[in-house]
Structures are given as structure tokens and as C-alpha cells.
């Protein structure tokens, strides 16, 4: 598909379907892990998994930071007809990914216990957390590069390859989760090993793209390296900060939930955060579908095509948010018991937690879509501010303040209030960006 000439609606569908499919299967990893651990290990395992979840946020942060940052400038350069510049950005982003991966890998190998304690693990849960995360940490570079390559391959016009990689890896992960946890009875380690092997398969399929005839990416000597790295970091930060904010917020939530509700509430929160991770992946899928189209058309100066993509993606995100919220409001017990054993404590507290938390998904999609859109039209400051407001500033403050009055209920309401407050700012930013178009932006 020609991103500059193909009908915009057809183009959007051509990127959206593979992007959402990949997001669904990526979410299956955490879904299946939660089901296998919740039923094969028990509520302590489910609570431990909620504490381990931020490690995937760290992985996604660095993968998206480098991958999306590269994709924005690669698309813009190609829209301008400057192919050598596009490949220079790809090469610089690859170097950046290698450096970040080595640093993070070393940190987790050396300071794992301290990091998991910071995430919220207590003495009772630490063995479960370690049993699961040790496998993830040993092969962390594969995880980071899978996230990075998904962005890069999609931006090179091959969204179906990304979908194929994720689907093949996801199918492998589902089977391995069942086989390792139940017939072999390997518990937390079995679920982690299944996730690792599924990601290795995904990485192998993505890597094979670079040996194919369709690949338009080449490693060249970057020019103006410092400027290129700066641009990649600035453009990618607002997408990456969605995940790093998810890390920090999950840590805060884990501690607040343990403080006000204990381990049963943390087990239910493990279910909620698994659903939240899935929905956030799907909303990011909408953003990742629009990003290559908008970036390249921005480089080519075709603002009308960009406006059409923006409207289509906002509508998609809003409809998805309505569906996700209704599912939680109407079927809270079914969601809880799907993942964990229905103990009396779980049955008592799950409906209130799930119904309130799921309200936050209604505006969440528009907020995430706005982050990706503003990146793609080079409004990176707005994008970063928006991501920080919803991911850290408003949510972090409210998660500490509201429980002072409403105790455990205040934790869940903090998330809903944050998303509804930020969506007002998101809509204002989108309208402002549409009116300004290309004004005030440098090449």
C-alpha cells in the first residue's frame, strides 16, 4: 500500500486490523499467564504476578522509546523523499536500543531483589515473584528487541509481518502455558518459560523480515548522531512514557492495595491490571496503526489525509472504550472467576473493584490515541505532557489522596477520575493541532 496515495480509509483499515490483532495476541500472553497461575498456583501466585507485571512495562518502555521515535522520523523523512536520512534514523535507533538494553539487563540481573521489593513484593510473595521473573530477566534482550522490531517493521510497510510474528508466538505461548503449568506442574516458572519461548518465536519471525526482498531498511552510518538520537528520544518518549507510567503507577497501586485491602484485594487487582494491560495494548494498537500513515503524510505535507485518519482513529478508540467499560460493569464476577478461584473473599470484593476500575477504560482510548497522533505531527511536547498527566501526575496524586477519605474504594476511583479529567485536555490538544496544521514546525 502506498501511504501517500492509497485511499485513507482503506489504508487505515489495512494497518488497524493487523495492529489490533497483534495487540490481542500480545495480551493473550498476560491473560494466559494469569489464568494458568491463578488456577494452577493460587491467589498468592496471582498476587505475585501483579507485582511482576511492571517488568513488562520496563521492556515496552525501551522498545517503544526507540521504535516509535525511529518510526516517526523515518516516516517523515520518507514522506519528504529523503531515503538516506530515513535509514540513518533507523541505524541510530538500533544503536540506541542496544545501549539501553545492555544497561537495563545489567540492572535487573544485579539488583533484582531490590527492584521487586520496590515493585511491592513482601517476604511472602518474593519467592513467587522471583520464580516467575528470573526467566524473563535472563532473556530480557529478546523482549526489548521484539517490541522495538514490531515498531520498525510496521513503519517499513509490513504490518502483516508483525501480526504474523505475534500470532505465531502467541499460539506457542498458549499451548506451552497449559503444558508447563498443568501436565508438568512447573508452576510460576512454567508460565514464565512459556512466555519466554513465545517471545523467542516472535523475535525470530520479525528478524527474518530483514532478509526478505520487501525490506527497505538498511544499516548506514548515522549522520548528525547527537541530533538524531535527541530527536528519537523526544519523539519516542511520550509513547514510552505510557508504559513507564504504567510501571510506576502499578507499583503505587500494589502498595496502596496491600495497605488498604490486603492480599485478596491484590489478587483481584492482578485480574484488573491484566485486563488493563490488554486494553492499553489495544488502544496503543490504534495509535500504532495511525502513526506510519500520519508521519509519512506529514512529511509530504498532506494535512487533509491526516485529518481523516485522526477522525477515524478517535472514533475507533471511543467505541472500544464503551465496549470495554460495559463488559466490566455488566459481568464483574464472571471476569474475576475466569482468572482466579472463586473464594468467598474474592466473590465479595471483586464486583465493586472491577465496576469502578472499568469506568476508566471509557476515555482511556482517546487519551492514548491523542498521544500517538500528537507525536506523529511533531507536537512532541504536547504529547509528552499529556502522557505524564494521565500516567503519573493526576493518577499518582489521586491514588494517594482519595484513599484518605474512601480507603480501598478511593484507589479505584482515582483511576477513573484521572482518565475523565485528562480526556478534556486530550480533545483540546487534538483540536489545536488540527487548526495549527504545519504552522510553527521546523523540518
Cα atoms found within 13 Å of the Cα of residue 20, Cβ hemisphere only: 15
List Cβ neighbours of 4 (8 Å cut-off, separation of 6 or more).
79, 296, 297, 300, 302
**What pLDDT does 82 receive?**
85
**What pLDDT does 93 receive?**
92
pLDDT at residue 442 is higher than 50: no
Q: What is the pLDDT of residues 13-61, one digit of tens each?
A: 988 988 888 777 767 666 677 777 877 777 677 777 777 877 887 888 8
| DSSP conformational letter for 146 | H
Q: What is the pLDDT of residues 83-139, one digit of tens each?
A: 888 899 999 999 999 999 999 999 999 998 898 888 777 788 888 888 888 889 999
Q: What is the pLDDT of residues 257-315, one digit of tens each?
A: 888 888 788 888 878 887 887 898 899 889 988 988 998 898 888 888 999 999 999 99
CB count in 10 Å sphere of residue 9:
11
Q: Give the DSSP H/E element, type plus range, for residue 404.
A: helix 403-406
Q: CA–CA separation, 85 vs 80, rounded Å?
A: 10
Q: CA–CA separation, 24 vs 27, rounded Å?
A: 5
The proportion of the chain whose per-residue pLDDT surpasses 70, expressed as a percent, equals 95
What's the predicted TM-score (pTM) here?
0.77
How long, in residues, is the chain?
A: 443
> Poorest-confidence range of 204-213, 245-254, 327-336?
245-254
Q: CA–CA separation, 359 vs 53, rounded Å?
A: 21
Amino acid at each position: 500500500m502506498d501511504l501517500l496515495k492509497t485511499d485513507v480509509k482503506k489504508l487505515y483499515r489495512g494497518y488497524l486490523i493487523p495492529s489490533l490483532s497483534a495487540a490481542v495476541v500480545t495480551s493473550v500472553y498476560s491473560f494466559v499467564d494469569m489464568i494458568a497461575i491463578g488456577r494452577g498456583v493460587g491467589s498468592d501466585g496471582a498476587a505475585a504476578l501483579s507485582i511482576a507485571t511492571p517488568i513488562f512495562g520496563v521492556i515496552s518502555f525501551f522498545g517503544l522509546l526507540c521504535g516509535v521515535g525511529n518510526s516517526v522520523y523515518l516516516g517523515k523523512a520518507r514522506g519528504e523523499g529523503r531515503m538516506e536520512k530515513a535509514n540513518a534514523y533507523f541505524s541510530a535507533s538500533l544503536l540506541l536500543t542496544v545501549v539501553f538494553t545492555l544497561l537495563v539487563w545489567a540492572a535487573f540481573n544485579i539488583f533484582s531483589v531490590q527492584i521487586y521489593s520496590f515493585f511491592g513484593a513482601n517476604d511472602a510473595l518474593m519467592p513467587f515473584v522471583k520464580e516467575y521473573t528470573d526467566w524473563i530477566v535472563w532473556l530480557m534482550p529478546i523482549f526489548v528487541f521484539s517490541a522495538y522490531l514490531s515498531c520498525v517493521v510496521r513503519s517499513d510497510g509490513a504490518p502483516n509481518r508483525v501480526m504474523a510474528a505475534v500470532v505465531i508466538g502467541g499460539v506457542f505461548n498458549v499451548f506451552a502455558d497449559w503444558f508447563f503449568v498443568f501436565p508438568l506442574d512447573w508452576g510460576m516458572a512454567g508460565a514464565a518459560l512459556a512466555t519466554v519461548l513465545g517471545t523467542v518465536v516472535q523475535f525470530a519471525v520479525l528478524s527474518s523480515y530483514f532478509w526478505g526482498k520487501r525490506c527497505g531498511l538498511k544499516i548506514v552510518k548515522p549522520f548528525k548522531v547527537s541530533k538524531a538520537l535527541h530527536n528519537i528520544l523526544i519523539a519516542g518518549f511520550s509513547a514510552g512514557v505510557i508504559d513507564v507510567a504504567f510501571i510506576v503507577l502499578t507499583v503505587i497501586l500494589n502498595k496502596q492495595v496491600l495497605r488498604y485491602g490486603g492480599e485478596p484485594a491484590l489478587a483481584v487487582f492482578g485480574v484488573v491490571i491484566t485486563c488493563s494491560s490488554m486494553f492499553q495494548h489495544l488502544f496503543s494498537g490504534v495509535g500504532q496503526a495511525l502513526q506510519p500513515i500520519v508521519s509519512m503524510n506529514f512529511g509530504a505535507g498532506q494535512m487533509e489525509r491526516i485529518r481523516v485518519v485522526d477522525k477515524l482513529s478517535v472514533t475507533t478508540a471511543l467505541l472500544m472504550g464503551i465496549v470495554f467499560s460495559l463488559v466490566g460493569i455488566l459481568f464483574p464476577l464472571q471476569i474475576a472467576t475466569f482468572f482466579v478461584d472463586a473464594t468467598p473473599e474474592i466473590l465479595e470484593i471483586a464486583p465493586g473493584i472491577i465496576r469502578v476500575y472499568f469506568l476508566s477504560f471509557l476515555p482511556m482510548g482517546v487519551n492514548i490515541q491523542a498521544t500517538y497522533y500528537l507525536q506523529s505531527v511533531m507536537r512532541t511536547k504536547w504529547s509528552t505532557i499529556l502522557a505524564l498527566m494521565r500516567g503519573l501526575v493526576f493518577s499518582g496524586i489521586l491514588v494517594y489522596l482519595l484513599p484518605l477519605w474512601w480507603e480501598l474504594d478511593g484507589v479505584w476511583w482515582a483511576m477513573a477520575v484521572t482518565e475523565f479529567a485528562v480526556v478534556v485536555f486530550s480533545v483540546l490538544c487534538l483540536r489545536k493541532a488540527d487548526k495549527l496544521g504545519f504552522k510553527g514546525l521546523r523540518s
